[in-house]
Amino acid sequence: MNLIMFGPPGAGKGTQAKRLQERYKIKQLSTGDMLRGEVSSGSELGQRLKSIMDSGELVSDDIIIEIIANCIAEPECQKGFILDGFPRTVAQAQALDDMLKNMAREIDHVIVLNVDDEELVGRVKTRAEESGNARSDDTEETIRHRLTVYNEQTAPLLPYYKEKGLIRNIDGMAAIDDVSAEIESIVSREKAA
């Protein structure tokens, strides 16, 4: 089973992807986590990535597409994967389609977590306050910019996947457990079918 967790920053994609990973033993692939790993390695690439991420802009499609292409070819993704934070542009979605086609695989569901903008800003600020090592892109100004980037570059993927019949809308304002239950019902229903 191959899933895409879709939604703006702070919608709960990572939290839900981790739960799905546990439950279905399919691999969570968070591009944000991978990029932060590269940043903390202190490499020259990491330094370049950090300044882009801190500005709230997107890292170039080429870099991200290469990372994902390598990951989904790994044995640990054989049973399936949960893409968390990818694709974020139409070019990334098209590249993903090409990769999957070559592997004779496909996306089963695009799970969209819908959350109001003001709630998102509040959640990310709370994440920054509560986390021991706050992310440097979790400041209010950057969050607002990340939301603009989401609306301009990532939201256009919704019609792209709608046309493919893959969109599963979820109320991301609900409690975490309720969101998980709703995702679970979609995923298990389709699996049984």
Verify whether residue 36 is a known catalytic residue.
no
Taking a C-beta distance cutoff of 8 angstroms, is the pair 4, 109 a contact?
yes
- Residue 121 burial by CB count (10 A; 0-12/13-18/19+): exposed, middle or buried? middle
How far apart CA 58 and CA 75 sit, in angstroms, is 28
How far apart CA 31 and CA 59 sit, in angstroms, is 10
Taking a C-beta distance cutoff of 8 angstroms, is the pair 21, 27 a contact?
yes
**Residue with Cβ nearer ligand AMP (31 or 180):** 31
Regarding 9 and contact with ligand AMP (CB under 6 A), the answer is yes
Tell me which stretch binds ligand AMP (CB under 6 A): 69-77, 80-88, 116-124, 185-193: 80-88
Regarding 58 and contact with ligand AMP (CB under 6 A), the answer is yes
Please select the residue that binds ligand AMP; options are 3, 17, 29, 35, rule is CB under 6 A. 35
Verify whether residue 88 is a known catalytic residue.
yes
Tell me which stretch binds ligand AMP (CB under 6 A): 18-26, 38-46, 48-56, 123-131: 48-56
Query: Catalytic residue numbers?
Result: 13, 88, 127, 135, 146
